Structure 1
Amino acid sequence: MPVQVEKMEECDRKTLQKIIVSRTQFFILEKLLNDAYGIRRPKSSEYELRKQVIQDLNDIAKDLYGNSASCPVVEEFGSFLMDLFTIESDLDLSINFRSSSYVFPRDEEIKTLQKFENKLRSLQNEGYVQKVKLIKRARVPIIKFVHTATNVRCDISVENRIGISKSLIIRLITSIDERFHKLCVLMKVWAKAHNINSPRDRTLNSFTIVLLVAFHLQTRDPPILPPFSDILKDGEDPASVNNSVRNFQNYGSRNAETLAGLFVSFLIKLASVEKLWPKGLCASPYLGHWIHKTWDTNIATMSVEDFLDRAQNVAGRVGKQEVKKIYYGIHYTIENISRFMNFKTEEFELNGSLFGIDYMNHPYPNLTMNNFNLNGVMDRRAGPNWSTWPLPTGHWGAPQPQAVTAGPGILWADQWVYDQPMMGGSGWTQGWAGGASTSSSGGAYGAAFMDDHLSWPQEMQPTMDPFGRRFQQHPYGNCTMISHFTEGVIA
């Protein structure tokens, strides 16, 4: 295994050199990533909204248990406690009783959650919360609900003190080097945009992404982060970790790699080990290097060692079929970055392929995340009636804004669009398209568009637009689009 890893690392370096061939494009990518990070950093008001949710749940606890020593405290963990959340992140919460020495059996956890569920359902009838659901059969029983006033999605478990400890440790470690914080946020947003950040769907959970990012920074030359074993050598409690972290400030100062370089090299590293996971390769943030490891289930699809409980594989629930989807996203992204570096893809196209639609900078300020699904595509079931919205101004001579009359489910495209023969003739049409979900034509100013599950005819792949730009089939199964659609697609 060490020989294979050495060959892999040498391959990583050569691949990175081949991709980053243009200094100008590399600087643009650096700016794109920093802008994407800045846009997605929560405002102070968004911190306050989540604190309000936590306060409301503690008020519920007092209502259920009385203001006494037996009353539990609802505490945050996960992305909010790590300060790695975005506005669409779930809020992970734990109901903790004051006696930490008592080990809660599973049936007691469920009884506690049922108490909260009953109260939340009564509040749901009054409109204070929505979508209350108790999931008893999960590995960790939880209540899921949406806090109506803030639109924050919440997951509540019981006595998840280990989750709180891990989150606090990660939060402290992010202070060692800002590149760790930035890369974690960007990789989580990238994974969500590619539909590979869902433990429920057996893809990557957020904690796995964070540990993989940390591992990547530990294994750079020179390293940017130390092994977690060095940080935890004096204890795992927050006070000890805090003191330890102070000794590692500016640890990675000898490494001058930029955010763009780290983003690309991280994807290349993951791509290069695709065939080695089944051979027992495991990333160990605790040791700060690759190891060979098998688990209770023998060989895992992906292996990332938990730094507090090394017997646990935090990526253990990634499925055999789902890992193919993960690696499709990785290879697809590397290819798009390579095309951008070779001046074959424009900046806004790359941004879309990395992170989906930038909804916060969308030309229609009333749009919120509710109008988009996690692919960054517009959801025809959400938002207001679009039938009277103005058209966007196109980049290449699209008509001036006029009223849209096609109704909900509209696709906007301000680029060159190919009319499919099955929908009224073929040929290139310049302008924007406004196609409804019934596969209707876009009207006088637009090109025809397909229904949700239709695909481009085979003879159109690959093809070029009038400017010599290659169209690409969108990788996700719920729709097909060309790479120049920038304003939104039907979900």
Structure 2
Amino acid sequence: MGAYRTLDFVINDILNAVNPQQQDWVIRCQIIDELRRVIESVESLRGATVEPFGSFVSNLFTRQGDLDISVQLPNGSYISAAGKKLKQALLGDLLKALRQTGRWRRLQFIAHARVPILKIESKNSSISCDISIDNLHGYIKSKFLLWISEIDGRFRDMVLLVKEWAKCHDINNPKTGSFNSFALSLLVIFHFQTCAPAILPPLRDIYPCSAVDDLQGVRADAERRIAETCAANIARFKSSISKPNQSSLSELFISFLAKFSGLNLKAPELGICPYTGQWEEIKNNMRWMPQTYALFIEDPFEQPENTARAVSSRQLKRISEAFEITHHRLTSNSQNRSAVLAALVRPHEVQFLTRTPVTNGSYNGGRLNNTSWNQRALTSPSPVQNQHRRVKNNHQGPAPSFAHNSAVPKPHHHPSKDSTRQTPSQQHQNKPRQMWKPRPSREIVDE
């Protein structure tokens, strides 16, 4: 661990900076409430509910993270499945209603995407939202990631770190031919599966088939079956661990970079399969044939979908170079704080990790003005935070659960500021700091 002492401290500072705080949760809950009121005013969406999913539900979002919203159409207790044309029409109606409010900007209707999306940004908070219709598939994938993060606390920290690093190197944008955030999360899962000893199991050991195929019939029943299966298998895996992996987060990040260096050379022949937890030969996998993608990262919850389908051949080479260059920089003998920061975060964010705070900054989509990110990340618990803890203690149930009050994740954590002075086993064996989560409002949980 001593070999990466500078990296240890920098990673801890980055996690403190990007980790969502009370205001980040409150702002997103307010946005959800606002959208619910707008949707209630749209005649064609009467009876529809607003359900967050994505990183907000999986608790893998950063302070600047977008908000994913699914508008679930009324279908009694059964799972609804609107066709693409209907989704396009309904999003068009919603677009008109949002424009009339004057409270949103940068409205963009991507009607012909694989999943039609309406992109908007709140004028008050600068938080971007992606709105889709009946995206229960996205919701269940978010829940799987939440459950996986409960196996080992390092998973969540690693995903947040990898997202920041990917943004720094401009490889977290499917519009330009690189990764989406879900694919990055799957890369972290795959890395944790292929460590020695493994931190995570093959995902077939958590759920033995394609989960989205089982989303049929009565929604509550389908979700309960999936949740109970996952809970039992996760408990079985955790109880079977005889030799836990004690690598520090910095060691895991270095090996992550090493593992995917030269990815462009492997990609023509090998696909990444978190379902089996190993590299798979494309020519021997009939689900993936014919291979028409530059890179294959199979969606373990919706096989054989490729989560890296947006990655282009040109960008794949640049992605591989980002892995290689960062690995070289972080393992060089001339390692210093400035060099490490430059390799991990964007230039405009470095200043917030190094400057002395001057005055309190205003909220701007998780971006701070005139205030150190670190200072904001270390704010003390508020009365609202203590209230949430009391509510949580009164409402805890069996885990994992698809109960509708789980749309807002349970408390999760990341290492304390002094964690880099601890041994790897002390640092990451699920003894993290309490994080504030909002008390779920009836508008959010009534899904």
Same fold (TM over 0.5): yes
Letter in 2 for 1:260: S
Does the aligned pair in 1 maintain the 2:64–2:365 contact within 8 Å?
no
Does the aligned pair in 1 maintain the 2:262–2:321 contact within 8 Å?
no
Letter in 2 for 1:358: V
> CA 1:315/1:234 → structure 2, altered by over 3 Å: closer, same or farther?
closer
Letter in 2 for 1:140: V
Letter in 1 for 2:267: W
Matched, 1:229 2:219: no
Question: Which runs of 5 or more structure 2 residues have no equivalent in the other structure?
Answer: 212-225, 371-447
C-alpha distance in 2 between matches for 1:140 and 1:25: 46
| 1:63 match | 41
Matched, 1:271 2:246: no
Normalized per residue, which structure has more helix? Answer: 2
Cα deviations by residue, 1:175-212 (Å, 9 ceiling, x for unpaired):
00011111111001100111110111110000000001
| 1:141 match | 116
Partner residue of 1:292 out of 278, 281, 305: 281
Secondary structure of 2:150's aligned partner:
coil
> CA 1:288/1:368 → structure 2, altered by over 3 Å: closer, same or farther?
farther
Q: CA deviation at 1:242?
A: 3.1
Cα deviations by residue, 1:70-110 (Å, 9 ceiling, x for unpaired):
51111111111110101211111111113244421111001
C-alpha distance in 2 between matches for 1:346 and 1:368: 31
| 1:443 match | none
> CA 1:239/1:73 → structure 2, altered by over 3 Å: closer, same or farther?
farther
Q: CA deviation at 1:253?
A: 5.7
Does the aligned pair in 1 maintain the 2:210–2:300 contact within 8 Å?
no
Q: CA deviation at 1:56?
A: 1.2
Number of equivalent positions: 345
Report the structure number with the largest CA radius of gyration: 1
Q: CA deviation at 1:368?
A: 7.2
Root mean square deviation, CA, Å: 2.6
Q: CA deviation at 1:372?
A: 12
| 1:116 match | 94
C-alpha distance in 2 between matches for 1:317 and 1:62: 35
Cα deviations by residue, 1:294-313 (Å, 9 ceiling, x for unpaired):
53552521111111222111
Partner residue of 2:350 out of 355, 358, 380: 358
Letter in 1 for 2:41: D
Matched, 1:326 2:319: yes
- Which one has more relative contact order, counting CA pairs under 8 Å at least 6 apart? 2
Does the aligned pair in 1 maintain the 2:120–2:129 contact within 8 Å?
yes
| 1:259 match | 249
Letter in 1 for 2:261: A
TM-score (norm 2): 0.72
Matched, 1:33 2:15: no
> CA 1:235/1:277 → structure 2, altered by over 3 Å: closer, same or farther?
closer
Q: CA deviation at 1:136?
A: 1.2
C-alpha distance in 2 between matches for 1:151 and 1:372: 8
| 1:183 match | 158
Matched, 1:194 2:194: no
C-alpha distance in 2 between matches for 1:160 and 1:360: 36
Does the aligned pair in 2 maintain the 1:74–1:96 contact within 8 Å?
yes
Partner residue of 2:183 out of 208, 215, 234: 208
TM-score (norm 1): 0.65
> CA 1:191/1:117 → structure 2, altered by over 3 Å: closer, same or farther?
same
Cα deviations by residue, 1:201-256 (Å, 9 ceiling, x for unpaired):
11000000000100110111111001111111499423432343333347486211
Cα deviations by residue, 1:327-366 (Å, 9 ceiling, x for unpaired):
2211221121122xx1x24212211221123354333556
Does the aligned pair in 2 maintain the 1:96–1:160 contact within 8 Å?
yes
| 1:303 match | 296
Question: Which runs of 5 or more structure 1 residues have no equivalent in the other structure?
Answer: 1-22, 374-381, 385-491
Partner residue of 1:92 out of 44, 68, 88: 68
